[in-house]
Amino acid sequence: MHTTSPTHQLKPGGDAPFDADSTLYYLDSPRRRLFNHSVVLVGLAAYALYLGYRTCCTMNPATPIFSGLLLAAEIHGFFSLFFFFFQIWNRRGRTVPAPDPDVTVDVFITTYNEDADLLRQTIRGALAMRHPHRTFILDDGRRPHVRALAEELGCEYLTRSTNEHAKAGNFNNAFLQTSGTLVATFDADHVPRADFLERTIGFFRDPKVALVQVPQQYHNLDSLQHKIDHSTRRIYSEQDVFFELVCPGKDHWNAAFFCGTGAVLRRTALEPYGGLVVGSITEDMHTCLELHSAGWKSVYLNEMLVTGLAPMDFKTFQAQRLRWAEGNLKIIKSINPLTCPGLTLGQRICYIASMYHWTIGIPKMLFYLSPPWILFTHAFPIVNFGPTFLTIYAFFLVSLVLSYRILSRGTGRLFMDEFFNMVTAFTLIRATNRMLFGRMPAKFVVTDKRGSGRPSVAEALPHIALIVFSGLALEWGVLSLTYAVSDDWFGSGATMFWTLYNVALAGGAVRLALRPPQQRLSCRFDASLPVEVKWDGCPAAEVGITRNISDSGCALLWKTRLAKQTQGSLVLHIGNRQLRCRAEILSVRADAGSWVEHGVRFVDLPIADVDFINDAVFNMIVPRLFRHLSRPALSVRLLRYLVKTATRRFAARPNRVTASVPVRLEHARREWLVTSVDISHTGLGLVMPVELPAGASVHVTVFGAHGTWDRQATVIRTERVPCSTPSLQTWTTGLLLSAADLREAVDLEVAA
Amino acid sequence: MTLTYPRLLAAAALAAVVEFAAFEWRYRDLIFLASPAAVVAAAPAPTVARYFDTALARPRATRTTLEHLVLVATARRDQSAAIATLYRLVQTDPRDPHLRLRLADALRQSGRLNEARVHYREVIAHPEEAK
């Protein structure tokens, strides 16, 4: 994902109308594209050869149904791979054209039952977007406090007497009462960045563009679909492959589709349908299919311009996936991408691929149930299961893994993808079942943004059943070998290994379902912010640092252990602003190195300060967090390390280590309390709220866990951190310390 | 009732025991015949005969099981049962000359020379497999 895409230079004074296709550019070089295409062809050819061998040489005539089903599941996998490769054949980026200053925009925030504090963040984010616009809160819950919130914040409130057609109906109700040329739409939890409109509406200079979609990123990184590895600074999100690979690939085929939120639509394109197309629970894809069929263009801009909340628990996650799967599959009953007029071949295949993806549940279930079935019945679906088969299978598997890894450019992680296939398999079977045998009427289920607040045992029962079934099959297999019921040690061993792999995946799914529910009312975001606190009874204020923060409290790292319920006056330094409030210690947690972590609650924080913290979170902390966690893949890091090591021999620069400690910096009779980002024996990296000139002499005081030390330093570099809000702008600043006798002090800090 | 790990483990242990009981009920004959041949031979003759017949009648009797049965039959000095089992054993791998040779030897020792001759000839006819 780009932090910022390149700017598109409009031709001055030309008569030719702007064409949005001119903003497209290839994300890969011609040589890399040629390589990618070769990998695609080799991967598909290897799969096809394997299937040919399976069909001709390994079908077991003694178990025709079982053999046939397993082969059918493998053929399904071949088409999955084909569709995936087709969609990512060429990935495209977009340059961003300047917005038309005269275009009018209506911003819709759809809500039904979400909390007011959640809505508050979204409304404030929407109101703060640059470019003139009108913001509407569309409340299907008809709640007086939401009306009051709208009035307080200065946006318009719309509601209706029924909830017909759920979200689409809500949107359409507002659509008929408004008149802006463009309509931007957000879910209640999706907070837009201040430059959202500036970055997206320029594409509508092309009169054929009906939709601009941006990726859905989620700021609650402790959600069910995220996995963060802080040591490698890598983040996995279950939807990364879709938004990072598939959507830029779809954009190549003019098949990027509407994802329901974080999008801008052209009013005239929607007018024939009275807004969004109704009659489906995935109105977004259905609408886009109709728009493409009518000849409109769509644009996918891969920039993080809006962030929302991902499901926090298993139940909510499964409910969301069931709705998506059911809706996507049922669209084919209303409009068939293969036969509907107006679509290009590429668009048809992309839409079929999107629907086909949701049918993966049944073949996956066959793969999960086959090994235990084999162990119970000793009926092998594959004959000639020997070294020849294993060699061919290994060749096929290696080609599959390699082609996926190469083409997913570090985004796709096969094991994690397999894990989430296990998590969703039973839900996708339910969706397929509903599509085939019907369930009337299909009901739109609003995703619970806070989670259900309890472990989802019921939702994990299918996985538990699979583990039990597999475990019993393993025992049966061992007993069978022990008492010579079966003497196929090779086949049984391979089947047991396969069973154990599936049990591990299912066990992970159960663990995910049973994980403790989120207790906090608001999300906490990892952020190292300097804090000054004067605890009651202490003579003077001291300095600490946050580990994470929310609008109701923070995790505070402090040099000494403090008692619970201690209160004090806290000054939080965010950018150029200092936020003052009373604070109370609620908990004392395990030591983090030499620092002690305390759970701190902000006492009676004024609403203006709550808003300020949220502004800082969504415009400064979250983007910084995503940048921090988007470390390149291991191969790239290894290459960089080798280059760095080779050049360091000549530069002789000490290695810098990531370390966040509070630092007071004085320059030109001004002082700032800031945070370090890295540290070495001779230098220091800081995040500064001002831009200091290179060569400036400054005085720094470092507040370490093992004492405070101060030195003169010289600014050697400053670099602007991309930020959509000028008031929260920061710069990373590199300092060269004037005394090189800091080895011991720095080592202590790094250890802490 | 809440789902806890100790409860899950207890349920798993119970399921394992129940499954073993089911396995024991389903394959009682094979479990009995897997005991050392001397132990089997020392058991009451009707019991051994019943389990022997049940095991031999299994359509998917494995080579290991049939080898056990040959040993049991030999220990019980039941030559005809041993030959019947060896016939089944040869069917599991008709190209194995060692099995065929054992069958031919058993037939010769029991005086069924014509049958033995057929199998000896079969072994001689495929010397490359005998190697």
* B60 near A CB under 8 A: yes
Give the closest-approach CA distance of A472 to chain B in angstroms.
Answer: 7
**CB–CB of A365/A341 below 8 Å?**
no
> Which residue from B15, B19, B62 is facing A485, i.e. has the nearest CB?
B62
Which of A76-85, A391-400, A707-716 has the least mean pLDDT? A707-716
Query: Model confidence at A44, in pLDDT bands (50, 70, 90)?
Result: very high
Q: Please tell me which residue of chain B has the smallest CA distance to A469.
A: B15
Q: Residue A750 pLDDT > 70, yes or no?
A: no
Question: What's the whole-number mean pLDDT along residues A179-189?
Answer: 95
What number is the average pLDDT over the span A652-675? 83
As a whole number, mean pLDDT of residues A372-377 equals 95
- Residue-wise pLDDT for A626-635, tens only, equals 887 876 667 6
A545, A558 Cβ separation under 8 angstroms: no
A468/B contact by beta carbon, under 8 A: yes
Q: Are A258 and A283 in contact (CB under 8 A)?
A: no
- Report how far residue A570's alpha carbon sits from residue A578's, in angstroms, rounded to the nearest whole number: 10
Residue A122 in contact with residue A191, Cβ under 8 Å? yes
Distance of CA A658 to the CA centre of its chain: 24
Catalogue the long-range contacts made by A715-720 (C-beta closer than 8 Å, 24 or more residues apart).
A716/A683, A718/A688, A718/A691, A718/A692, A718/A693, A718/A694, A720/A691
Best-predicted range by mean pLDDT among A136-150, A567-581, A661-675, A717-731? A136-150
Q: What is the mean pLDDT of chain A?
A: 88
Q: In chain A, pLDDT over 70 holds for what percent of residues?
A: 91
Report CB contact under 8 Å: A475, B19. Answer: yes
Which runs of consecutive H residues, i.e. helices, occur in A438-528? Answer: 457-482, 489-513
CB contact under 8 A, A483 and B31: yes
CB contact under 8 A, B62 and A487: yes
Largest Cα span, chain B = 72
For chain A, say whether B62 makes contact (Cβ under 8 Å): yes
Interchain CB contacts (distance < 8 Å): A and B = 42
Taken in order A129, A131, A132, A138, the sign of the CA dihedral is negative
How many angstroms separate the Cα of A65 from the Cα of each of A3, A59, A71, A371, A675? 52, 10, 10, 15, 65
Q: Which residues of B touch A516 (CB under 8 A)?
A: none
The Cα–Cα gap between A267 and A273 comes to 10
Q: Is B19 on the interface with A (CB under 8 A)?
A: yes
Query: By mean pLDDT, which of A6-20, A90-104, B37-51, B75-89 is the weakest?
Result: A6-20
Tokens of A747: 């080592």
Nearest to B65 by CA among B50, B54, B49, B76: B54
User: A484 touching B, CB under 8 A?
Assistant: yes
Q: A360: exposed, middle or buried (C-beta count within 10 Å: 0-12, 13-18, 19+)?
A: buried
Residue with tokens 């943004």: A449
Identify the pLDDT of residue A555.
Answer: 92
Residues 6+ apart with CB under 8 A from A310: A218, A220, A223, A224, A225, A226, A237
pLDDT at B34: 81
Print the SS3 string covering A574-628: ECCEEEEEEEEEEEEEEEECCEEEEEEEEECCCHHHHHHHHHHHHHHHHHHHHHH
Range of weakest confidence among A54-63, A295-304, B94-103: B94-103
Instruction: State residue A651's pLDDT score.
Output: 55
Q: Are B100 and B90 in contact (CB under 8 A)?
A: yes
A466 min Cα distance to partner chain B (Å): 13
pTM: predicted TM-score of the whole model, two decimal places: 0.86
**More confident of the two residues A656 and B66:** B66
Which pLDDT value is given to residue A367? 96
Backbone angles phi, psi at B10, to 5 degrees: -60, -45
How far A513 CA sits from the closest chain B CA (Å)? 12
As beta bridge partners, residue A670 has A667
At residue A447, the pLDDT reads: 62
What's the confidence (pLDDT) of residue A439? 64
Looking at residue A296, what is its pLDDT?
96
Instruction: Please indicate if any CB of chain B lies within 8 Å of the CB of A437.
Output: no
User: Which of B64, B68, B88 to mutate: most A Cβ within 10 Å?
Assistant: B64
Which residue of the set A206, A284, A526, A615 is catalytic? A284
Mean local confidence (pLDDT), A719-737: 86
**Which residue carries 């991408």 as its tokens?**
A337
pLDDT at position A199: 95
Which residue is listed with tokens 């902000």?
A602
- Which positions in chain B touch A514 (Cβ < 8 Å)? 3
B71 touches chain A (CB under 8 A): no
| Calpha distance B76→B40 (Å, rounded) | 9
pLDDT band, residue A90 (cuts 50/70/90):
very high
Q: How far is CA A515 from CA A178, A225, A422, A449, A657, in A?
A: 45, 13, 17, 17, 33
> What pLDDT is stored for residue A14 in this prediction?
55
Give the number of other Cβ atoms within 10 Å of residue A326's Cβ.
26
Q: Which residues of A touch B19 (CB under 8 A)?
A: 472, 475-476
Catalytic site includes residue A140: yes
